[in-house]
A and B are shown apart, each in its own frame.
Chain A
Amino acid sequence: MLLKIAAFELRYQLKSPVFIAVASALFLLRFAGMSVESLAFGAAGNVMLNSALALTLAQILTSPIFSFVGAAIVAGAVLRDDETAFGPIVRASRIRKADYVFGRFLGAFALGALMMAMVPLGSWLGTLMPTASPDLVGPNRFAAYAYAYGLFGLPNAFVITAILFALAAWTRSTMGIYLGVIALFAVYVGSQFFFATRQLPSLRALADPFGLGAFSQATDYASAAEVNAGLMPLAAPLLWGRLLWIGLALLLLAATFVLFRFSEPGLSRRAAARLRGEAAPAAPPRPLAPLGALPAPRFDSRTARAQLAARARLEARHIFKSPSFFILLLIVSAQVLLALWFDENMFGEASYPRAALIIPRIHEVVGGLLAIIAVFYSGDLVWRERERRVHELVDASPLPTWTLVVSKALGLSLVLLAMLCAIVGVAGFMHLMRGDGTFELGRYLLWYLLPAGFDAALIAVLAVFVQALSPNKYAGWAAMGLYLAALAFAGKFGLEHHLFVYGSLPAVPISDMNGLGIHWQAAWWFRLFWAAAAALLLLAAHLLWPRGTAAAFRPRLRRVPARLKGSAGLWAAAATTVLIPAGVWILYNTVVLNPYRTSAQSQARLAEYERRFSRYLGLSQPTVRHVELDVALHPEDIRLEARGRYRIVNETAGSIAQVHVRILDERSVLEAVDFPAATLAHNDAEFGYRIYRLDRPMQPGEARTVGFTVRREQRGFRNSGAEERLVANGTDLHNYELAPRIGMTRHTFIDDPDARRDHGLPAAPSKPRLEDVSATLREPYAQGLITADITVSTSADQIPVAPGRKVFERVAGGRRTIRYVSAAPMMDYFSVQSGRFAVRSIRHRGVELAVYHHPAHHWNVERMLAAMRASLDRFSAAFGPYQFEQARIVESPAYRQGGQAFANTIPYSETFGFMVDYRRPNALDGVTAATAHELSHQWWGHQVRGAEMEGDVMLGETLAQYSAIMVMQQLSGDRAIRQFLDFQLDRYLSARQTSTAAELPLARGGEPHVVYGKGALAMYLLRLRLGEEAVNRALRRFVARYRLAGPPYPRSIDLIRLLREEARTPEQQGLITDLFERVTLYDLRADPPAAVRRVDGRWDVTLTLEARKFHVDAAGREREVPLAEPIEVGLFTADPGSDDFGRADVLALQLRPRRSGRQVLRFVTNRRPTHAGIDPYKVYVDGNPADNVSAATP
């Protein structure tokens, strides 16, 4: 009986359109992703798409989808009988409750299992297609599929079905189930987020019903090679998590069975009260008086208005009185609150609440949710009359159809507006709790409420239209689901113009200092266009509204022409007269006035550039040695004009007959070049590339002058990529964007090997090998050292900033002009900025240290200055003198990420430290770290320029990380260093998996996770073993040798050689080899320490350790090598990773040689240790740093 019921359920629901649609979509998605490379989702670097890791991730990510589809399935299984009123008949039959409940459950579970099976099935068939890329698809392993499905797919289907089943049985309503699912999701996301930020990974793993947390924990640090070799982790937390949830699901199922109401539902208290009310004796019927004439109806505009108001009130009341609305409101508010409350930057620091930071975060967190709510309510509202069977009453009334349509769209907009207001309320709460007294209400209104409300209304209108046309609510929902997918993914399919998809808009990045900039204009033009389209949709909904029982679509369509006569036609005409001019205006701006290119076209343009000009790469060209530049910025018009002159010198051994002058940034136009005694031999205006033939070739050592004029301005608006460098407040340009370059370089070449292949370009030559000594003779990145004389003028309320000493300032005619002169040689790569800055500056050791900042961002200016001062002190003492007379941090709008070190000028994004709130205890002083890092680049990158070849990035970034650690140690303390290193280790290990190239050792590598992440750890460990003085001695000698020098430029091994000269022992030499010349991994772990009290009151502690060391070869293979080096072992009275750990908690810290394998150590301590382990501060690169230290078992 039970199986028969299950089989019936399965058969019955297999035919449901929802199941068929979603199952086939899942299948096709996987199938397409496997067989067509460009459609591959979730491809992560070198990890094969059919590895157990990728399959499992796909399986896990299907689970949330199944939660929503499964809700429909389970709702069918549990509620169908009641909804169709068939329940009493079923319950009156001889069926047993167990058969009924478990049969229905099994049926629903089978459907879930089937849906989950679409993932492996689609994947497997996809891999068999001839189109499957051999680079991304490895050999199929049955075990991998079985692992993904058996450990995740099937259990997740079971767990989810059980939860939904309980929800269905408990709430007895479809709405209840969906709300339950949404609520659980909110709790899920919130708790995951909470555990993640609180560093509670094991709780996070256990609390994850889908197994994602535990799985990613088990695989986060696995390398691509391990994964492709078939790694299938079976770590204990993972298995426990799975068992826990299956057990919970079984319990839930049992509870559902016990509590399942199988008999006829009794009367609720309210229903009973209602009945009593009715049973109360009615007033005796009055004798029937003749009815007579009632007030007569009138049909004028006043009535129409009253009708619209009445309908809108009805819709609003319906929504605001429904519990679902409040639950959703709570969920949305809670999501936003959680996200804002725990929002942290990469250093784990929170910012002051500012609208400019909070609004993008809100979009990120609930943007999708709001769209889903709009879709959800559209179905609810449009189908309400029919579901409640009020439609015949309403539809036979003389109510004009448009009032029905408009009131539904209004009602829906009202729901969304209420949500938005709640969100703004949450933001206000953040300002109240965390802010400094500012609320920025106007900004929330103009930057969020208005545009987001408008966009929500656009979706609401479309949803109402779709539901009006749809044969049922579910089809409408599905269509809207497709629409939302199209909105998100159209760009991926080349439909990048925002006119392609209804409601699509150019992005509006928000900056606290520059506001919405000019970005809002483009967005609102598109909004105008879409508003007109929405009006037409409303009209179409009006014309096609399913009034009465006219289910068929065709008859409705046939009546459209007739119904268009009259005011409907006028409205259509009015909307069209807005739509067409707005569309034409948008096209004029985005296609005619500004170039419109898809990303494929942009890439093709780069490829074309390379094809046309790469032949000039080897050509001898003169070097720029002096720059005179006069930049007239007009920030209010987004326009600039730059005039300048270069002194160019032939520093080659031969004569130079032609000089190539080109502008790299397409937005800047090279208007004129003044090249005396030369003729323009070739002018490629499309790419801004000019070739001048010299009347008389330049002889070696000869210098000449070239003048130029460059214009840059934003005319109209763009579809995407609006000007973010030259802006109203916070212009942040560098000279490549302002001025031409001499000679051809590889700067703009495409890096991605696949893209190069697609465009028929030869494989990019890799950087010169470390052994290629000839590369050390070339000017790195074709950026010579120059002197400069730069005049920048801007509006009078702004301060222009350029490198060098300010020698002149004038404010006249509403413009401020400042001239900066750089006598000290600096790189031919410098920044020009302008903004309404407040300036805080001090003189220290004869250097002007200054922070140019947005006046509202005053919080961390002193901290930056302190870091600059300490950096200057420490670096000058340790590495050698500073080369400039000034060092300026200049704030830049949020369009820039992080900071960048130009000569004596550091553009520093407003989101990068300026707004961090240090009133709250912060371990990691990110501002100090970043400031010291960037300032040290004045040595590492500006004074010492590595040859452009393997390992050169290390000479800049790794040494800057080291320098930052030096300053942090002084200003921020040990705990900050520890967290800094934890962060670097995590960064390195996580990125190892997703990195596409084989990992090179530090001496050759250039990937960020290697040079920043591992580099910081390596330098820290080296400093620990050699001593800071020895390391700094080597660095000082390095600087002295290469400071501002010409060729040969240094290589990484030149630094390593100096470091080796400081190493005193073979162990230290070996360490240098391991750190810089090899990829070395450690596996260090400790068992819980065992402590026994001695007679003298002290403790005998036994600690069992295990240590291993691996070298990773170029193919990513790990090979164990003998470990024989000293590594710290420590005993503590607190967890060394915890926040309140201090020096007093160290019972013993012993640095002795360790060897590979297990080893037992004995200690005698005064107090009983609670924690003990090897490498307790995690300075070695260990794939599983969490087991270095173990807690004592009490």
Chain B
Amino acid sequence: MLELRNVTHVYPNGTRALDDVSLSIPRGMYGLLGPNGAGKSTLMRTVATLQTPTAGTISFGDIDVVARPEALRRTLGYLPQDFGVYPRVTAADMLDHMAVLKGVASAPERRETVERLLHQVNLWSFRNKALAGFSGGMRQRFGIAQALIGNPELIIVDEPTAGLDPEERNRFLNLLAEIGEKVVVILSTHIVADVADLCPRMAVIAAGRVRLEGAPLDLVAASHGRIWRKTIERTALADHRDRFQLISSRLFAGKTVIHILADADPGHGFDRAEGDLEDVYFSTLAQSRRAA
């Protein structure tokens, strides 16, 4: 459905935010994982027609997105990573306004849209409150609601779960999953679990390049038998970092648990670990860092 071919974006200051990115994104949820500053948001904004890539083509169905951004916008739902609101405007009014902007011109249809979406994101009781007074989570829910107006074919959500409490996050992911059955949903995040829970396909992006692309299950399966775990003292971390291909380290009950990548048993007290998506993600990042 959504095809990106050799998309490159260079900012005026020389920063190469996207470097020859090619992706083919089918219907369904698509996870875009990457650390902060990897170029995720640039990629999202580029697909959302807010930025024109320096080079490359993007197409959605038969829409050439770069040449005809207005065509894509008609079927796009976009939740930016960070957005503000107009002062002195209530949630219902703003959603109503967004509905007009999205082409829902008739008043009864707009009313229906607003009502259903506000219920859906659980903001109905706050509909007459000024958006400016909303907390981060409430504002995020509003953002989700507006992204769903008008049954978009392509939904882009940039870091949607940031600022949501676990309950809200669940609710939101369920909503996305429901929608994702019918349309293309791109979900960018740096939270591996979001992708792991939801996305049949994903890509890891770092330093502007696609480092890994595939179905999470396949990726995890491919790492099977190559992830090893060991619990060490904190002081030994530097030593292990030098000697092994360290993927991640985390603290657990005061000790440091490290994961490394090795094709065969590295010995030294490492145990085989059941690799999960996080290991795949971290190992990809580790490799890309080494390559850089």
Is A400 located at the chain interface by the 8 A CB criterion?
yes
Q: Could you tell me which residues of chain B, from 108 to 131, have a CB within 8 Å of some CB in chain A?
A: 109-110, 112-113, 116-117, 119-120, 122, 124-126, 129-130
A1114 to B202, CA, bound (A): 96
A303 to B138, CA, bound (A): 29
B181 to A: closest C-beta gap in Å: 10
Neighbouring A residues of B48 by C-beta, 8 Å: 392, 396, 548
Is A392 a contact partner of B70 (Cβ separation < 8 A)?
no
A397 to B85, CA, bound (A): 15
Is B102 a contact partner of A398 (Cβ separation < 8 A)?
yes
Is A294 a contact partner of B150 (Cβ separation < 8 A)?
yes
Interface string of A388-400 (1 = CB under 8 A from B): 1110111111111
B283 to A: closest C-beta gap in Å: 33
Is A550 located at the chain interface by the 8 A CB criterion?
yes
Is A298 a contact partner of B105 (Cβ separation < 8 A)?
yes
A555 to B88, CA, bound (A): 35
Is A277 a contact partner of B129 (Cβ separation < 8 A)?
yes
A321 to B86, CA, bound (A): 12
Is A398 a contact partner of B73 (Cβ separation < 8 A)?
yes
Neighbouring B residues of A277 by C-beta, 8 Å: 129, 133
A297 to B69, CA, bound (A): 17
Partner of A547, one of B50, B122, B130: B50
Neighbouring B residues of A286 by C-beta, 8 Å: 119, 122
Is B101 a contact partner of A274 (Cβ separation < 8 A)?
no
Is A677 located at the chain interface by the 8 A CB criterion?
no
- Nearest-CB residue, chain A, relative to B170: A288
Number of contacting residues on A, CB 8 A? 50
Q: Could you tell me which residues of chain A, from 385 to 441, have a CB within 8 Å of some CB in chain B?
A: 388-390, 392-400
With contact pairs A277-B129, A291-B148 given, residues A303 and B87 touching in the complex (Cβ less than 8 Å): no
Is A282 a contact partner of B84 (Cβ separation < 8 A)?
no
With contact pairs A277-B129, A393-B80, A398-B70 given, residues A551 and B12 touching in the complex (Cβ less than 8 Å): yes
Is B146 located at the chain interface by the 8 A CB criterion?
yes
Is B40 located at the chain interface by the 8 A CB criterion?
no
Is B98 a contact partner of A294 (Cβ separation < 8 A)?
no
Is B113 a contact partner of A400 (Cβ separation < 8 A)?
no
Is B171 a contact partner of A288 (Cβ separation < 8 A)?
yes
Is A298 a contact partner of B129 (Cβ separation < 8 A)?
no
Is A396 a contact partner of B105 (Cβ separation < 8 A)?
no
Partner of B74, one of A291, A294, A297: A297
Is B134 located at the chain interface by the 8 A CB criterion?
yes
Q: Could you tell me which residues of chain A, from 513 to 557, have a CB within 8 Å of some CB in chain B?
A: 547-552, 555
Is B101 a contact partner of A310 (Cβ separation < 8 A)?
yes
With contact pairs A282-B122, A282-B125, A396-B78 given, residues A303 and B117 touching in the complex (Cβ less than 8 Å): no
A315 to B: closest C-beta gap in Å: 10
Is B83 a contact partner of A392 (Cβ separation < 8 A)?
yes
Is A288 a contact partner of B125 (Cβ separation < 8 A)?
no
- Nearest-CB residue, chain A, relative to B123: A282
Is B84 a contact partner of A548 (Cβ separation < 8 A)?
no
A547 to B: closest C-beta gap in Å: 7
Is A299 a contact partner of B103 (Cβ separation < 8 A)?
yes
With contact pairs A291-B148, A396-B78, A551-B12 given, residues A314 and B45 touching in the complex (Cβ less than 8 Å): no
Neighbouring A residues of B76 by C-beta, 8 Å: 396, 398
Is A303 a contact partner of B105 (Cβ separation < 8 A)?
yes
- Nearest-CB residue, chain B, relative to A318: B86
Is B287 located at the chain interface by the 8 A CB criterion?
no
Is A1160 located at the chain interface by the 8 A CB criterion?
no
With contact pairs A274-B133, A282-B125, A318-B86 given, residues A399 and B101 touching in the complex (Cβ less than 8 Å): yes
A395 to B50, CA, bound (A): 7
Number of contacting residues on B, CB 8 A? 61
Neighbouring A residues of B175 by C-beta, 8 Å: 288, 291
A396 to B67, CA, bound (A): 15
Task: Point out which of B105, B110, B112 has the most chain A C-beta atoms below 10 A from its C-beta.
Answer: B105
- Nearest-CB residue, chain A, relative to B116: A294
Interface string of A1082-1099 (1 = CB under 8 A from B): 000000000000000000
A396 to B152, CA, bound (A): 12
Is A271 a contact partner of B133 (Cβ separation < 8 A)?
yes
Is B122 a contact partner of A548 (Cβ separation < 8 A)?
no
Is A548 a contact partner of B133 (Cβ separation < 8 A)?
no
Is A285 located at the chain interface by the 8 A CB criterion?
yes
Neighbouring A residues of B116 by C-beta, 8 Å: 291, 294
Is A549 a contact partner of B51 (Cβ separation < 8 A)?
yes
Is A1115 located at the chain interface by the 8 A CB criterion?
no
With contact pairs A396-B78, A559-B52 given, residues A295 and B138 touching in the complex (Cβ less than 8 Å): no
Partner of B84, one of A271, A390, A399: A390
Is B36 located at the chain interface by the 8 A CB criterion?
no
With contact pairs A278-B138, A296-B151, A392-B80 given, residues A306 and B100 touching in the complex (Cβ less than 8 Å): yes
A95 to B87, CA, bound (A): 34
Is A85 located at the chain interface by the 8 A CB criterion?
no
Is A236 located at the chain interface by the 8 A CB criterion?
no
Is A550 a contact partner of B101 (Cβ separation < 8 A)?
no
Is B24 located at the chain interface by the 8 A CB criterion?
no
Is B148 a contact partner of A392 (Cβ separation < 8 A)?
no
Neighbouring B residues of A288 by C-beta, 8 Å: 120, 171, 174-175
A548 to B104, CA, bound (A): 22
A288 to B150, CA, bound (A): 19
Is A390 a contact partner of B50 (Cβ separation < 8 A)?
no
A303 to B73, CA, bound (A): 15
Task: Point out which of B52, B109, B122, B175 has the most chain A C-beta atoms below 10 A from its C-beta.
Answer: B52
Neighbouring B residues of A394 by C-beta, 8 Å: 101
B288 to A: closest C-beta gap in Å: 26
- Nearest-CB residue, chain B, relative to A298: B103
Neighbouring B residues of A296 by C-beta, 8 Å: 104, 150-151
- Nearest-CB residue, chain A, relative to B88: A321
Neighbouring B residues of A552 by C-beta, 8 Å: 12
Neighbouring A residues of B45 by C-beta, 8 Å: 392, 548-549
Partner of B86, one of A295, A390, A551: A390
A193 to B74, CA, bound (A): 58
Is A398 a contact partner of B85 (Cβ separation < 8 A)?
no
With contact pairs A307-B100, A396-B76 given, residues A562 and B50 touching in the complex (Cβ less than 8 Å): no
Is B124 a contact partner of A548 (Cβ separation < 8 A)?
no
Is A285 a contact partner of B151 (Cβ separation < 8 A)?
no
Interface string of A262-306 (1 = CB under 8 A from B): 000000000100110110001101101111011111110011001
Is B235 located at the chain interface by the 8 A CB criterion?
no
A1060 to B149, CA, bound (A): 100
B28 to A: closest C-beta gap in Å: 17
A274 to B104, CA, bound (A): 31
With contact pairs A303-B105, A307-B101 given, residues A297 and B150 touching in the complex (Cβ less than 8 Å): yes
With contact pairs A294-B148, A390-B86 given, residues A548 and B50 touching in the complex (Cβ less than 8 Å): yes
Q: Could you tell me which residues of chain A, from 295 to 340, have a CB within 8 Å of some CB in chain B?
A: 295-299, 302-303, 306-307, 310, 314, 318, 321
A551 to B78, CA, bound (A): 20
A392 to B134, CA, bound (A): 19
Neighbouring A residues of B84 by C-beta, 8 Å: 388-390
Is B151 a contact partner of A303 (Cβ separation < 8 A)?
no
- Other A-B pairs, 20, CB within 8 Å; known A297-B151, A547-B50: A274-B133, A277-B129, A278-B133, A283-B122, A288-B174, A296-B150, A296-B151, A297-B149, A306-B105, A314-B97, A389-B83, A392-B45, A393-B80, A393-B143, A394-B101, A395-B49, A396-B48, A397-B101, A398-B103, A400-B70
Q: Please, could you name 13 A-B residue pairs with CB atoms under 8 Å apart, sorted by A?
A: A278-B126, A278-B135, A285-B171, A288-B171, A288-B175, A291-B179, A307-B105, A310-B97, A392-B80, A393-B146, A398-B74, A399-B102, A550-B52
Task: Please report B residues at the A interface, Cβ cutoff 8 Å.
Answer: 12, 45, 48-52, 67, 69-70, 73-74, 76, 78, 80, 82-88, 97-98, 100-106, 109-110, 112-113, 116-117, 119-120, 122, 124-126, 129-130, 133-135, 138, 143, 146, 148-151, 167, 171, 174-175, 178-179
Task: Please report A residues at the B interface, Cβ cutoff 8 Å.
Answer: 271, 274-275, 277-278, 282-283, 285-286, 288-291, 293-299, 302-303, 306-307, 310, 314, 318, 321, 384, 388-390, 392-400, 547-552, 555, 559, 562
**Closest A-B pairs by Cβ, 5 of them:** A548-B50, A297-B103, A389-B84, A274-B133, A295-B109
